[in-house]
Amino acid sequence: MTYINLSSYRKETNDLDKIYDKNVRRYLGGRRRVNLGMENTLKSNPENFGLFNNGITIVVSDWKLSDDQLTLDDPHIVNGCQTSRTIWTLFDKRLACGGNGRNPELEHWERRVSEAAVVTKIVRVGSSGEGLLKEITRYTNSQNAVQEKDFLALSKDFSDWQREMSDRYDIYLEIQRGGWDSQKAFQKRNINTKRYDRHVNSADLIKVYGAGWLEAAGPAFAKNPPFLPGGAIFEKMMAKPTENEEPFGVDDLYAAYLLQLAGDEQKFGRQGNLARRQTRFLFYFIVVRLLKYCMIRSGISVNDREVSQSIIKVLKNPDAYELLITTASSVIDDYMSRDFEDNVFKEPLMIEKFNSDLNAFLKIDGLGKQGQSPNLYDRIHMAEALLNHRIGGTKPIELIKSVINHDLNN
- Per residue in 149-188, pLDDT (tens digit) is 555 555 678 889 999 999 999 999 998 777 888 888 888 8
| Closest listed residue to residue 205, CA positions, set 195, 214, 196 | 214
| Closest listed residue to residue 82, CA positions, set 186, 176, 184, 185 | 176
Q: For position 383, what pLDDT does the model report? A: 96
Strands (E), 110-183: 120-124, 171-174
d(CA 53, CA 88): 15
CA torsion sign for 246, 249, 251, 255 is positive
Whether the predicted model's global pTM rises above the 0.85 cut: no
Residue 67: burial class (beta carbons within 10 Å; 0-12, 13-18, 19+): exposed
Contacts with 302 (C-beta within 8 Å, 6 or more apart), sequence order: 292, 295, 296
β-strand partners of 367: none
For the chain, 410 residues long, give each residue's pLDDT as a single digit of tens: 444 466 666 666 666 777 777 765 666 666 667 778 788 888 888 788 877 777 888 888 888 888 878 888 888 888 777 888 888 788 777 776 655 667 788 888 888 878 778 888 888 877 656 666 666 565 455 444 445 555 555 567 888 999 999 999 999 999 877 788 888 888 888 888 899 999 999 999 999 999 999 999 999 999 988 998 888 999 999 888 877 788 999 999 999 999 999 999 999 998 888 889 999 999 999 999 999 999 998 888 899 999 999 999 999 999 999 999 999 999 999 999 999 999 999 999 999 999 999 999 999 999 999 999 999 999 999 999 999 887 777 789 999 999 998 754 44
- First-last CA distance in the chain: 54
Q: For position 19, what pLDDT does the model report? A: 79
**Domain extents in the chain:** 3-144, 201-405
Q: Return the CA Rg of the chain.
A: 26
